[in-house]
Chain A
Amino acid sequence: MRLNVFVGGPYLVSLWVDLTNVWPLKSCFLKSASHRSLFPRSQVVELQPVKMPLELYLDLFSQPCRSVYIFAKKNNIPFDFKQTSLMLGDQHGEEFGKINMMRKVPAMRDGEFCLSESIAMMMYMVEKFKTPDHWYPADLQKRARVNEYLAWQHGGIRMHGSKMFWITVMVPKIMGKEVPQDKRDDAVEDLNGSLKMIEEKFLQDKPFIAGDQISLADLVAIVEIFQPLAAGVDVFEGRPKLSAWKDRVRQKIGPELFDEAHKGVMGAMEVVKTLDSSKLQGFKPRIQKMFF
């Protein structure tokens, strides 16, 4: 980054900044004599390194992107939202490959430090921005409860909720046919099992997963539960406890922020209908493995 500052005298302060390079600025000094003649009272200015905000590479169709987004916004963490549309293949771009070679979202860049995995990202942000304790409590046992949920959910609700979204929204569009009935039944059974686990083991009679206050666990849980909801599966029907918890979480996050984050996915069914299925053929091998 080049930042040239000319101060002093009757002349205007002239400032231009070349932002194509993200290297922090260490110092700048006048190199050309001609500058001195124009600005006789110019001074060498030692500037502090410019702190680039966090870059978050997100597609809000993706559950882990939503949790990262909500967390950052709720905690007023300054960041650059880098739209990375999965359905348009942005994850296959060269630049994005440098951020995350696994070509998945969410991804984060903090200066030279790149990080993938939403849970790692949120834990990093907790530490870096010293967010309120309740998100990831310092207390050993409360923190363990959050960690326990965050670990379980990968193979629990995340897997099962995602599957429903694929089955209902993506597969018919991309494959031109429905997932076989027995696989659909299994998926519904698995989803019900996960929701039951959330209610009976993780929530029980507490207002939130870790206890009295909202934490990363609730955030990660809610975004996953909304995925099958977006696929037309009413996960809250017949589950008043889960529904009450959902309302509490939405309130704590802030209904406006929550709804904004979920706007895209809740309209996904409609959007996917309009997409050019030939562009989505890249998903075929994965779908084949999952369901056929």
Chain B
Amino acid sequence: MSAESHSLYFQNGEGFLSASINMGLPEGQTLQLDTMTVELFLDLHSQPCRAVYLFAKKANIPFEYKKVDLASGEQYGEEFGQISMVRKVPVLKDGDFILTESIAILMYLAEKFSTPDHWYPAEPQKRARVNEYLSWQHKAIRESGSKIFWFRAMVPLLTGAPVDQERMDSAVEDLTSSLTIFEEKFLQKRSFILGQDISLADLVAIVELMQPVGTGLDVFEGRPLLGEWRDRVKKELGESLFDEAHHVIMNAHTLPQELEDKGMLEFLKPRLKKLFN
């Protein structure tokens, strides 16, 4: 073996550490250490966590599932604080690189693991459509869907009384107008937001729409086109994977009791109240 075989290089962006060491390997053959597995800090009660989970599973991305129990206030603990000072989930950890924000995480995973193009198409106008949805949804479906979840599932527990009707109606109204925009602008008569193929946009949309459903508010009722789209997305992801990811939220009615059992009520009350003033 010549001295040239002592080459150690790191392929940026791919996570492969390749080493040709003088250990009797035939010339050109490398010993590859897989540094591809990422850590995903998740609680499947959270919509963005479900999007990340579903994507990672569907695209066969190797990851270590790190459960963060929000109902126990784990996000406020010291250990989690070391991971993310924002104290929210999901979080991705790739070696020393830590990333928050599900949208950023999804884009990172799509790039790093070279997932099939349809998830986040390279073609600029198609990609723009996905970006458009991912940007819009923060303050639209995500916000109103979350509000409904909190108003129906959490507020009665935290305050001892249901949310006043006016605020509830207002939240439902916001959700309704978001759903109308979703149907009339983003989906229209297409199979998926981009057309024939599912993308990150559909994934992010479906998990948000399932949030109010978990509290018994069926957003798909009276919206056949939306219901059909949901069925297509479910089929594309795989029914059992979809149901698995949504299992905890569909059992959201047990949350209040869980919180009480864990003695987290008083601790969480002021913190959670702020979220949805």
Contact = CB atoms under 8 A, between A and B. Distances in A.
A154 B139 contact: yes
A38 interface: no
Interface string A140-157: 110110011011101100
B136 A117 contact: yes
A159 B136 CA distance: 13
Contacts of B134: 120
Contacts, number: 88
A150 B97 CA distance: 18
A168 interface: no
B186 to A, nearest CB: 10
Interface string B109-131: 00110000000000011011101
Contacts of A117: 131-132, 135-136
Contacts of B235: none
Contacts of A152: 86, 100-101
Nearest to B138: A154
A59 to B, nearest CB: 18
Interface string A117-130: 11111011001100
A178 B185 CA distance: 36
A289 interface: yes
B60 to A, nearest CB: 19
Contacts of A124: 124-125, 127-128, 131
A131 interface: no
A128 B124 CA distance: 7
A115 interface: yes
B240 interface: no
B185 A119 contact: no
A290 to B, nearest CB: 10
A155 B181 CA distance: 20
Contact of A159 (B125, B129, B139): B139
Contacts of B111: 140, 143
Contact of A148 (B100, B136, B138, B184): B100
Given A154-B139, A155-B138, A141 B97 contact: yes
Chain A contact patch, size range: 20 to 34
Interface in B248-277: 277
Nearest to B86: A201
A139 interface: yes
Nearest to B107: A147
Given A120-B135, A139-B12, A141-B97, A102 B181 contact: yes
A197 B86 contact: yes
B85 A200 contact: yes
A16 interface: no
A123 B85 contact: no
A140 B112 contact: yes
B17 interface: no
Select the residue from A121, A123, A144, A197 with max chain B CB neighbours within 10 A: A144
A118 B136 CA distance: 10
A15 B101 CA distance: 55
A88 to B, nearest CB: 24
A124 B128 CA distance: 6
A284 to B, nearest CB: 14
B127 A123 contact: yes
B185 A101 contact: yes
B22 interface: no
Contact of A151 (B12, B13, B101, B125): B101
A100 B107 CA distance: 26
A151 B103 contact: yes
Interface of B: 12-13, 85-86, 97, 99-105, 107-108, 111-112, 124-125, 127-129, 131-132, 134-136, 138-139, 143, 170, 181, 184-185, 277
The 5 closest A-B pairs by CB, nearest first: A147-B104, A120-B131, A154-B138, A151-B101, A117-B135
5 contacts: A115-B129, A121-B128, A123-B128, A150-B104, A151-B103
